[in-house]
A and B are shown apart, each in its own frame.
Chain A
């Protein structure tokens, strides 16, 4: 009896790593496609951006046949849980709340969050000074959580994409928006539309809301996919591929501390 049990156990132990380590083929990656310059759709509707280049480099590294799917932001985690794709590479920050539902790779970049206001505005950035003011940001983001928890009393408007928040900042419907500094700078402030707007107030990095940087998100049972990406991140950073891609999109290393 005991030999049978140990035989079965032994077979299982041998079998699990062999099959579980295999990456899905194709490996389907979801991105938002509305968060320039990290991920966006070009004029032909193809996904482009820092994260797309980085994802391709990581897929080469782990020998995966990767395909991209474009998914609206607030459905991106439900879609993963519903098996629509296998991984999320969409500036999804690693937070404790999200970790209760999904598993992350190591971080692959980290930038602080900050408010953007019209240059002409005299708005002071503090909870007291902003009472009753209108602030826009994207729904289901760390920014939204921060605003609701720490900035109560501010009229918060949440948008499906950051691009819509930029539009309403331009039209003057909102007094300020909150976004990450690189997306806001590259995707808005440095474009012709962003003329006349600037960052104001401190940079926010508190792990409670802004997490531990952006990571590759996978279902909890697919921890091996997250591990493969963690290895790939370490390798592309070690061999300089990461720095080259970051230089191309931002002119600096966006990895953070």
Chain B
């Protein structure tokens, strides 16, 4: 029995190594350069067409906005799954925290002080990346992740469960509705003013802010659920 399992182990290792070697060999020797019509189309005149100087933002907010819609749906579905398919829902009595024990559990003084200093700057750079996402590297996804990092550092300093996750979930659903409605009205149905130079910018900033807040609330809900409900 042990002999066969050992043999299977070696076979699996050999399978992974041979697969990697075959793919690497094919990639290095037989990969061909394809034309890039999508890149040529997207980088030709994206500033005049979409109002974004960052062509990645132009793609995921204007050219391929369907991707963003379904990504937002996917994140919301996963958040709903994390909240609803959880053992802690039906067995809430097992999840009472000892508050005095939980308060400042094992946090070093250095971490607490330094995070307290860094905290507003993390918030600031998150908001900066969200708002300037269409003219510089950044965007809603990255800025939202940084804002969620700010909340996670808050957990390091102040590990208490005083956040209303239910309200945050409702906020996320409303944000998802706005994320769906804004491109549908503005991009698909073309409800735009005649001169679109300013309205394109407004659309970019608004969509980046909505996506950033949605990613922020989604990641925070996932993090706090995992820390306080799935933690044992």
A, B in one complex: no
A residues with CB within 8 A of B: none
B residues with CB within 8 A of A: none
